[in-house]
A and B are shown apart, each in its own frame.
Chain A
Amino acid sequence: MSTPATIDEVCAVAMAEAFRGDGEILCNPIGTTPIIGGRLARATFEPDMVMTDAVSVLAANILPVGDDEAPRLVEAWMPYRDVFDIVWSGRRHVVMGASQIDAHGNQNLAAIGDWRQPKAQLLGLRGAPGNLVNHVTSYWVPNHSTRSFVPTVDVVSGPGYDRVAELSRFIRDNHEIRRVVSNLGVFDFANDEQRMQVVSVHPGTTVDVVVDATGFELLVPDEVPETRLPTDEELRLIREVIDPDGLRRAEFR
């Protein structure tokens, strides 16, 4: 038996679960925990996904996170420009961060305060506007609080369900926020109102804690399961193959 899973490993597996059923698409997680989750999903239940080496190729082997020197089994050249061909083809599932997210899944990566002169300039719109209207997106929020889960985001980088409802058939058909994983739980929008609902809470957390840390009304089903624990094989892959240096723990300090 492995030593028990820690919260960072539970989150990595919850992130991996976002890709279940995706098949042969570009799995494109951004950030340490999402990358570990994506590589874990491909190493286990989604072997057909393709992944970049975070530089400029698609690598067919499972790379250790953060290791620029690890040998790549190159299957395609993927310079930055070509990523847009994949975005626009729809064959991509991205995981982005969200400095703010609301009940409809509107994401802010751009700025806090008035964007004309922000109190805090953040990363910017980045690729979010194009991602959301073309293919599946998930979010990773390592600091679940009423400052990150907010009633209204200051800037919309990636549009949520309420905004997309006004747009074209093509966009409505291609827009999907598959899941939101935070350090407290897992959330999705798979209900008639397309509002954020609790899917599971992580071990060691309660629904009340999650509700109190959320700045809007979460939909909470009568029965909320606990987020599943990693299997022994998943723990081995995370600890020995994908993240032997323990980079995953940095976001949880």
Chain B
Amino acid sequence: MTEDEVVAELESGMTIGIGGWGSRRKPMSLVRAIARSDLTDLTIVAYGGPDIGLLCATGRARKVVYGFVSLDSIPLEPHFRVARQNAAVEFAEFDEGAFYLGLLAAAHRMPFYPTRAGLGSDMLTMNPDLATVTSPYPDADGHHEELVAIPAFDIDVSLVHMNRADAGGNGQFLGPDLYFDDLFAKGAKRTFMSCEKVVPIEDLLDEGTFHTLKIPRLFVDGVVEAPRGAHFTECPPDYGRDEAFQREYAATAKDPEAWAAFRERYVDAPGHDAYLAAVDAREGSGS
């Protein structure tokens, strides 16, 4: 598939789950394809990075659901900061572990999973729809503990980026951390996977052991080959984060003119190849 063919499967108002973590292994070629589409009113569910920042800044997101939104080396995603301070998007902010349970519940088709995270903090104040449940089992004192019920995220489509995949959708991560990409795939009605390189199934064990094959094709509905598809986020061992480019992106949050130019040049580039050409052509680019 191509990025645009994936976007053609999406509809305004959908809830989109996005894998990766912060500014790490984000399916950026797919995110940009959404950003330059005419989709609106999306709900984005992610351990957020520039995916959430871009979809807020381009007006695609109506609501964002997250455990955090960070660029790692820049602790707070600056476009997300602007969206929050302007109240430009609805939001649901979760404790990082509670967010994991929302994904896990989705993957297991459970209505919720219980946790203590949120009790005593303003997580419950900020999410007035969050309910508590009472444990059916007594503790040592005979009391029945009250717990927060984290509801399953209702994800229509998830997007993840892998290092390698075969054409059937078996995905392989070769870096140090899968993050939650398997749960995004299992917890969504449909999942599209981009990857650095599509390889024949016979070659899947050439670069990593079977432990790296954590997303079976059962949970994948389409594969997009996108070399450097996670740029400017990191995708080890294939490449690290493009910190210079990330700084350029981050700086545009404070400067509407710079953002307009960035958007025209990179976000609205007609396709991933055009984007990479623009990235490689920029002043000071080492490549």
A binds B: yes
Whether, in the assembled complex, A155 has its beta carbon less than 8 Å from a beta carbon of chain B, the answer is yes
Q: Decide: B176 and A79 in contact? CB cutoff 8 A.
A: yes
Determine if A55 is an interface residue (Cβ-Cβ < 8 Å): yes
Determine if B75 is an interface residue (Cβ-Cβ < 8 Å). Answer: yes
Given A79-B177, A122-B76, A170-B139, the answer on whether A127 and B119 have CB atoms closer than 8 Å is: no
Q: Inside 8 A of A129's CB, which chain B residues have their CB? A: 95, 98, 117-121, 123
Which segment of A137-145, A160-168, A185-193, A215-223 sits at the interface?
A: A160-168
**A125 contact set on B, CB distance < 8 A:** 93-96, 121-123, 126
Contacts of A57 in B (CB 8 A): 176
- A residues less than 8 Å from B219 (CB atoms): none
Contact partner of A133 among B75, B84, B119, CB < 8 A? Answer: B119
A-B contacts at CB below 8 angstroms, number: 125
Contact: B145 with A168, CB < 8 Å? yes
Which residues of chain A from 95 to 110 have any CB-CB distance to chain B below 8 Å in the complex? Answer: 110
Q: Is A169's CB under 8 angstroms from B139's CB? A: yes
Which of A35-43, A80-88, A225-233, A234-242 binds B? Answer: A80-88
Binds B, one of A7-15, A111-119, A203-211: A111-119
Output the nearest chain A residue to B95 by Cβ-Cβ distance: A129
- B69 within 8 A of partner (CB): yes
CB distance from B201 to the nearest CB of A (A): 25
Complexed CA–CA distance, A34 and B62 (Å): 38
Is A29 interfacial (CB 8 A cutoff)? no
A159 at interface by CB-CB < 8 Å: yes
Residues in B neighbouring A117, C-beta threshold 8 A: 84-87
Contact B68 A166 (CB under 8 A): no
Contact for A130 among B21, B85, B97, CB less than 8 A: B97
Residue of B81, B143, B145, B177 near A80 (CB, 8 A) is B177
A124 CB contact (under 8 Å) in B21, B69, B125:
B69
Instruction: Encode contact with B along A166-202: 1 for CB under 8 Å, 0 otherwise.
Output: 1111110000000000000000000000000000000
Give A137 Cβ to nearest chain B Cβ, in Å.
12
Contact residues in A for B98 (Cβ distance below 8 Å): 129-130
B97 and A163 form a contact (CB under 8 A) = no
Select from chain A the residue with minimum beta-carbon distance to B84. A121
Given A55-B176, A115-B126, CB of A126 within 8 Å of CB of B143: no
Q: Report yes or no: B75 in contact with A123, Cβ–Cβ below 8 A.
A: yes
Q: Is the CB of A156 within 8 A of B120?
A: yes
Question: A100–B177 Cα gap in the complex (Å)?
Answer: 32
Partner of B179, one of A80, A110, A130, A170: A80
Interface size bracket, A side: 35 or more
User: For the complex, what is the distance from the CA of A164 to the CA of B143, rounded to whole Å?
Assistant: 16
Q: Is B146 an interface residue (CB 8 A)?
A: yes
Q: How many residues of B contact A (CB 8 A)?
A: 43
Question: Is A123 touching B76 in the complex (CB atoms < 8 A)?
Answer: yes
Are A121 and B76 closer than 8 Å at their CB atoms?
yes
Q: B283 in the interface, Cβ–Cβ < 8 Å?
A: no
Q: B100 at interface (Cβ–Cβ under 8 A)?
A: yes
Most A CB atoms within 10 A — which of B67, B80, B96, B98?
A: B96
**Residue numbers in B under 8 Å from A130 (CB-CB):** 95-98, 115-118
* Contact of B141 with A by CB under 8 A: yes
Q: Is the CB of B139 within 8 A of A168?
A: yes
Contacts of A81 in B (CB 8 A): 100, 178-180
> At the interface, yes or no: A128 with Cβ under 8 Å from chain B?
yes
Identify the closest chain B residue to A87 (Cβ).
Answer: B97
A164: which B residues are within 8 A, CB to CB? 120
Write the nearest CB–CB distance from A100 to chain B, whole angstroms: 12
Which of B70, B115, B141 is the one whose CB lies under 8 Å from A123?
B70
Residues of A contacting B81 in the complex (Cβ-Cβ under 8 angstroms): 121
**Is B116 within 8 A of A155, CB to CB?**
no
Question: Are B76's CB and A171's CB within 8 A?
Answer: no
Point out the residue from B84, B95, B143 that lies within 8 Å of A127, measured CB to CB: B95
Measured CB to CB, the closest approach of chain A to B184, in angstroms, equals 12
Chain A residues closer than 8 Å to B85, beta-carbon distance: 117-121
Residues from chain A with a CB closer than 8 A to the CB of B87 are: 116-117
CA–CA, A87 and B96, complex, Å: 11
> A145-159: which have CB < 8 Å to B?
155-159
Chain B residue, CB-CB nearest to A159: B120
A67: min CB distance to chain B, Å: 15
Q: Which residue of A lies closest to B144 (CB)?
A: A168
The list of the 5 closest CB pairs from A to B, nearest first, reads A159-B120, A130-B117, A56-B176, A129-B121, A117-B87
Chain B residues at the A interface, C-beta cutoff of 8 Å = 21, 66-70, 75-76, 80-81, 84-87, 93-98, 100, 115-123, 125-126, 139-141, 143, 145-146, 176-180
22 sampled A-B residue pairs with Cβ under 8 A:
A56-B177, A79-B178, A80-B179, A88-B97, A111-B84, A117-B85, A120-B85, A121-B76, A123-B70, A123-B76, A124-B66, A124-B68, A124-B69, A125-B123, A125-B126, A130-B116, A133-B116, A156-B121, A159-B121, A170-B139, A170-B145, A171-B120
